[in-house]
Amino acid sequence: MVSKPYDETDPSSIEIYAKRLVGRTLKTTKGTRDVPIRYLDESPGVRTKGVFGTLVERHYFGITPGNMPCSPDFKRAGVELKTTALERRKKGLTAKERLVLQMIDYSEIVNETYESSCFMKKSQLMLLISNEYQNDRPIVDSEILMARLINLAELPPADRHIIREDWQIIAEKVCQGLAHELSGSDTTYLEACTKGMDGSRLVKQPNSQILAKPRAFAFKSGYVTSLVREWLNDVESLAITDDTEVAGRGFERTIIERFSPFIGRTTDEIESILGTELNPAAKGYRATLARRVMGVSAKNVEEFDRSGISMKTILIDEQGRPPESMSFPVFRYMGPGSVLEEDWESDEDDEIPRIKRILEDTRFLFVVFQRSSGRIRLKEVKFWSMTSADIETYVKPVWEATRKSIELGKLPDLPKGSFNGVCHVRPHAANKKDTLPSPLNGEQVKKCFWLDRRYIQRQVSGSEQLPLT
């Protein structure tokens, strides 16, 4: 048996050996065993997903652990090997996608505690190796940017409390026979993501006759990004600096209670209490005020970026009606990343429709202000996620109709506000010259999916009644 150039029982030795990769590529790093010819020209994509991890595992470390439940890859050292791709963006290095950890065994998790869980046995100590994502370069030629051990027990206390709370939320939902209702927006940093080559595959769950999609534990891409940037000393402002708040009340309750003393107050009164002066005419004034209430002076709230929480400030009139619908990012009519390239049933991040991924993964924080007698008051603050049932019943038909209209070149038939009273398509452009190419209709004004303002009003007011379709 050939001895390995690292101590298989020592996490530090494994990490040191991994760090030899940093600044190099798999092809240029001494110690990498012969890479099969079939991998030499492979570029990143859905078809080659997992290739980088396989090459690091087998041809650099010389291990073939398989995907054993509850057992880390370096079993004698208790270290799980994970790889992820990073992209260079304007804000810095960003995780390209969530970091999938391990499958959730619905039949086992109902009998576990967090401390004794399969999740902790396998993932408590991870070696994360990150390469740079470049879609025009073979995987073996991508630069390796980072190699670092992550010990969950050594994360900041607030992070540890949030991850524990996330695991417990997932486990409790399975215990209640609601595995089929799990969603990425249920939790903050650790999520239950869909997993499987066939998005239509369903499995049994305890305490229910309803079949559920197979899911895996995963760290959200925003949280992975925050870990990377923290190591690079590039972190935004935290809303929660006292970890005992999360330990005692949970993450969402801690955020809501920041706003509690200000409910019913006018914006002027809130500024006065906070001892701050803002320009009410400035764009994003109410969002800035909301961040100040949370104790954040920066433009971004770090925990929100980590967890995929989107804060929306909503101004309603005296009758409780919001003035406009909620917009989402502009979609492409054709080419890579377009609606035509998406697959509603896929579990691959690169193929899932963007609107579906956003609505499944995003937890919204609605900060609701109301006009009252010529003044604006903070009325309500609440967390909200769109249910899986609403996404499938109302958003999916709009996406399907949009795809069909683009394919047939019948853009006037794109779903309008009257389509189902929940979701529709309309322009989202700076002006008529702000366009994108379409396959059959030439340049077209940029458009996006919208959630109808009447639907948003029902979510804010708590009314669950939905329109008939």
In tens, the pLDDT along 95-124 reads 999 999 999 999 999 999 999 999 999 999
For residue 304, give the 3-state DSSP assignment: helix
pLDDT value of position 153 = 92
Number of C-beta neighbours around residue 81 at 10 A:
20
- Assess contact for 356 and 402: CB atoms under 8 A: no
Percent of the chain with pLDDT over 70: 91
Distance of CA 103 to the CA centre of its chain: 18
Cα radius of gyration (the chain): 24
> Which residues, 6 or more positions from 113, have their beta carbon under 8 angstroms from its beta carbon?
none
Distance of CA 47 to the CA centre of its chain: 22
- Assess contact for 78 and 124: CB atoms under 8 A: yes
Q: Which CATH superfamily is domain 11-231 in?
A: DNA mismatch repair MutH/Restriction endonuclease, type II (3.40.600.10)
For residue 119, give Cα distances in angstroms to 18, 170, 195.
23, 12, 16
Location of structure tokens 């073996």: 140
Residue intervals in the chain for CATH 3.40.600.10: 11-231, 308-461
How large is the average pLDDT for residues 394-400? 97
Pairing of strands 309-316, 363-372: parallel
The Cα 175–Cα 369 span in angstroms is 38
* Fold that domain 308-461 belongs to in CATH: ECO RV Endonuclease; Chain A (3.40.600)
Q: Indicate the pLDDT class of residue 178, thresholds 50, 70 and 90.
A: very high
How large is the average pLDDT for residues 366-384? 93
Instruction: Kindly report, residue by residue over 237-280, the tens digit of the pLDDT.
Output: 666 656 777 777 888 998 999 999 999 999 999 999 999 999 99
pLDDT value of position 64 = 87
Report the 3 state secondary structure along 21-80. CCCCCCCCCCCCCCCCHHHCCCCCCCCCCCHHHHHHHHHHCCCCCCCCCCCCCECCCCEE
Percent of the chain with pLDDT over 90: 65
Tokens read off for 192: 């239950």
Location of structure tokens 């948003």: 456
pLDDT value of position 196 = 65
Location of structure tokens 């059959």: 440
